[in-house]
Amino acid sequence: MQRVTKLTVRFLSDKASRFVPKSGVYPKGYAVGGIHCGVKKDGTSFDLAILQNIHGKDASAAGVFTLNKFKAAPVQVSRKILKEKHGSGINSFVINSGNANAVTGSQGMKDAEDMVLVTDSVLENPTNSTLVMSTGVIGNNLPIDKILNGIPKLASDHLGNSHQNWIDCATAICTTDTFPKLVSKEFKIDDDTYTLAGLCKGAGMICPNMATLLGFFVTDAPVSPSALQQILKYAVDRSFNSITVDGDMSTNDTIVAMANGAAGGELIDNKSSSADRFARLQTEIVDFAQQLAHLVVRDGEGATKFITIKVKDALSYKDAKTIASSVANSSLFKTAMYGKDANWGRILCAIGYADVSTDKSVIPSKTSVKFVPVDGSEHLKLLVNGEPEKVDEERASEILQDEDLIIEIDLGTGGGQSADFWTCDLSHEYVTINGDYRS
Residues taking part in catalysis: 212
CA-to-CA separations, 381 to 320, 391, 409, in angstroms, rounded:
20, 7, 10
CB of 233 to its own copies, least distance (A): 19
Find out whether 37 and 47 touch, Cβ atoms under 8 Å.
yes
Nearer to its own copies among residue 138 and residue 223 (C-beta): 138
As annotated, the binding site for substrate includes 175, 201, 212, 301, 434, 439
DSSP assignment of 205-245: S--SS--S-EEEEEESS-B-HHHHHHHHHHHHHTTGGGEES
User: Which residues contribute to the site for its own copies (CB under 8 A)?
Assistant: 67-71, 100, 102-106, 137-140, 204-205, 209, 246-251, 329-332, 335-336, 338-339, 341, 343-346, 348-353, 362, 364, 383, 386-388, 426-428, 430-432, 434-439
Query: Facing residues of 35 across strands?
Result: 48
As annotated, the binding site includes 175, 201, 212, 301, 434, 439
DSSP assignment of 321-371: HHHHHHHHH-HHHHHHHHTT---THHHHHHHHHS--SSTTS--GGG-EEEE
Distance CA 354, CA 325 (A): 8
Nearer to its own copies among residue 113 and residue 246 (C-beta): 246
CB of 393 to its own copies, least distance (A): 9
* Of the candidates 6, 35, 52, 292, the residue with the CA atom closest to the CA atom of residue 168: 35
* CA 155 and chain centroid, separation: 26
Nearer to its own copies among residue 376 and residue 435 (C-beta): 435
Nearer to its own copies among residue 164 and residue 365 (C-beta): 365
CB of 286 to its own copies, least distance (A): 25
Query: Facing residues of 193 across strands?
Result: 188
CB of 367 to its own copies, least distance (A): 8
Count of residues making up the chain: 439
